[in-house]
Structure 1
């Protein structure tokens, strides 16, 4: 029996504030309800999330539909681009992302490299595949860490992929034990 992981990139969030506590904009809240509607017929068994508020809020409607709480997993947090919790502007982040995908060991002082983040995240994903084998699992996540997890299984998931994702976005990953079988984009703008 295959396992399905639904990677749900969080909805739109405010442009300023602390990485951990930034919530969603009005559009982000509307999209969270749409995520719940889109996943309603997917027979979801469990909902996991990054500890960041915007991710939790993005998957909360589906957790409520199945009568469960969102299970927060700290190591699903977004890649740490700096040693601080403040949001980087897109103008600052883009060159850092480009350099990080060119050199996966690159990081700013006190931050995490793509390699470090991928190791952390894939370890969690592999544990999820073991614990929830044969089930359907929603994972509330972020763009970079989602791309790095998916990129572990296929080179198709690189910086170009990340730059084409939206907020929110949903990808259903089908696994046979630990082997990725198929990825399907479910979110449509």
Structure 2
């Protein structure tokens, strides 16, 4: 059986500022680093075979902190980077809602109809990340693999594994920083045994 452990990067400076990140990057906050360390401690008893991380700095740093002193290879993967949201990247979310209300509404409510300005559609993101996850499943058959990626990518992968339509992408558990998702894969059967779990946050007073 192949087991995928899927998580999102820790909290970043732009998360705190309320900015869309996309494929641009910002550093983890002190809290974000703590979130990653706690997830690493939670996974201490899991004998991971490989860590595959989005090549974005915030995700790769999260992977390093989860790894800690464990003797596990981290592979950077460009195909697991966050959705490219074009001109919106780096902008304050509230300002986007003001100057592009229709597209902002589509982004969160009808992702199948979202038309980016210079970036990817949800359909293009879906093709990119689902093709890559299938490659990972094939290469690491029978292994335990930790994938460190991003919020929209995670919701896209969950949509894929649950055979849902893109329009329903946001229907489900919110992907908080360093949340843990676990999916077991046995031939053609794919079954989530955990989604969006943040119980490793229990010793943190405030997280986001």
The alpha-carbon distance between structure 1 residues 12 and 115, as it changes in their structure 2 partners (threshold 3 A), is: same
Distance in 2 (alpha carbons) for counterparts of 1:20 and 1:81: 9
The alpha-carbon distance between structure 1 residues 110 and 4, as it changes in their structure 2 partners (threshold 3 A), is: same
Unaligned runs of 5+ in 2: 202-208
Distance in 2 (alpha carbons) for counterparts of 1:77 and 1:151: 17
The alpha-carbon distance between structure 1 residues 22 and 10, as it changes in their structure 2 partners (threshold 3 A), is: same
Name the counterpart of 1:60: 64
Q: Would you say the 8 A contact 2:180–2:198 is kept in 1?
A: yes
1:123 paired residue among 85, 109, 131: 131
The alpha-carbon distance between structure 1 residues 97 and 144, as it changes in their structure 2 partners (threshold 3 A), is: farther
Q: What TM-score, normalized by structure 2, do the two folds share? A: 0.79
Distance in 2 (alpha carbons) for counterparts of 1:98 and 1:151: 19
After TM superposition, give the deviation of residue 62 of structure 1 in Å. Answer: 3.4
Q: Give CA deviations for 1:74-99 in whole Å, capped at 9, x if unaligned.
A: 01000111157x42333337965651
After TM superposition, give the deviation of residue 115 of structure 1 in Å. Answer: 0.7
The alpha-carbon distance between structure 1 residues 179 and 89, as it changes in their structure 2 partners (threshold 3 A), is: farther
Q: Would you say the 8 A contact 2:83–2:120 is kept in 1?
A: yes
The alpha-carbon distance between structure 1 residues 178 and 89, as it changes in their structure 2 partners (threshold 3 A), is: farther
Name the counterpart of 1:74: 78
Name the counterpart of 1:30: 34
Q: Would you say the 8 A contact 1:5–1:138 is kept in 2?
A: yes
Q: Give CA deviations for 1:47-74 in whole Å, capped at 9, x if unaligned.
A: 0111111111112133344313420010
Q: How many residues align?
A: 186
Distance in 2 (alpha carbons) for counterparts of 1:116 and 1:143: 16
Name the counterpart of 2:6: 7
Q: Would you say the 8 A contact 2:155–2:169 is kept in 1?
A: yes
Distance in 1 (alpha carbons) for counterparts of 2:183 and 2:144: 10
Unaligned runs of 5+ in 1: none
Q: Does 1:161 align with 2:172?
A: yes
Distance in 2 (alpha carbons) for counterparts of 1:35 and 1:23: 18
Q: Would you say the 8 A contact 1:126–1:178 is kept in 2?
A: no
Q: Would you say the 8 A contact 1:22–1:52 is kept in 2?
A: no
After TM superposition, give the deviation of residue 105 of structure 1 in Å. Answer: 5.0
Distance in 2 (alpha carbons) for counterparts of 1:171 and 1:103: 22
Distance in 1 (alpha carbons) for counterparts of 2:38 and 2:62: 10
Q: Does 1:184 align with 2:194?
A: yes
1:90 paired residue among 90, 93, 97: 93
